[in-house]
Structure 1
Amino acid sequence: MEHEPGTVLYDPATDRVGEYQDRSGPYAMLRPVGGGREWQADPAGLRPATERERLRAGVRAANARARTDGPFMLGLRRPPRPVEDCPECDGLASRRAKARAAHDYSAETDADVLLRAHLRERHPEA
């Protein structure tokens, strides 16, 4: 059974709930709700997560954010600043903002890494 990206599934082999990302060879790739490190799962064993499992995963993600994203963390991780009038900078900054709004901190970090690389390559003076 093929799943849509973002579908929340239960993996009985790991007793974890994750969002379906894509296929990688014979495996389904799942990411924890709220972001994090992906894992491989046997697609035949996956099933849609129950409402209770979805809720628990959401609470776990919210608690993780509260531990790492509180006011005491401000200033420790400064996101790169896009250069004005650069469409690629604007696109990456927008991607970062959307990921943050969706509480997908893995995708937010990816956007920051891509923006920093772009700044080094295209705007070394910035």
Structure 2
Amino acid sequence: MAVAALAAGGLTAATASTAAAGPLTAQSCYGSAKSYSKSAGQRWFPNNGSSKLLTTGNCNDINIKPNTTTTIAVCFYPSSGGVSCQGSFKTAPAGQWTVVATDVRDGTSFVFDFGHTSANTGLWAG
């Protein structure tokens, strides 16, 4: 549930659950990663107003692996309407997977909020 994802947000719990599940779970999750490319001048990805990213059954969390260190949060778009953004940003180091939101339901619509307008590229899995 999006509310749980907003409240939970802790890296420790997600890391522990991934570690307990073993390397096959992480490989399956990260193995389905998709690339992103956020243009300079934009704060959100995707940023065309109508497109959203969707979580899948491959990961229990929303993860990002940026090519340059960035700050990141997630904004959820529940099926009931509206938008609910995380209240704080996480630092995602370059070249490392960072859990941005935990325990997110499959099929959840969301966008990344980078908190800045610099260009950014990398991978995401969710």
TM-score tier, shorter chain, comes to under 0.3
**TM-score computed with the length of structure 1 as normaliser:** 0.26
Higher relative contact order by CA 8 Å / sep ≥ 6: 1 or 2? 2
Greater CA radius of gyration, 1 or 2? 1
Which one has the bigger strand percentage?
A: 2
Which one has the bigger helix percentage?
A: 1
**TM-score computed with the length of structure 2 as normaliser:** 0.26
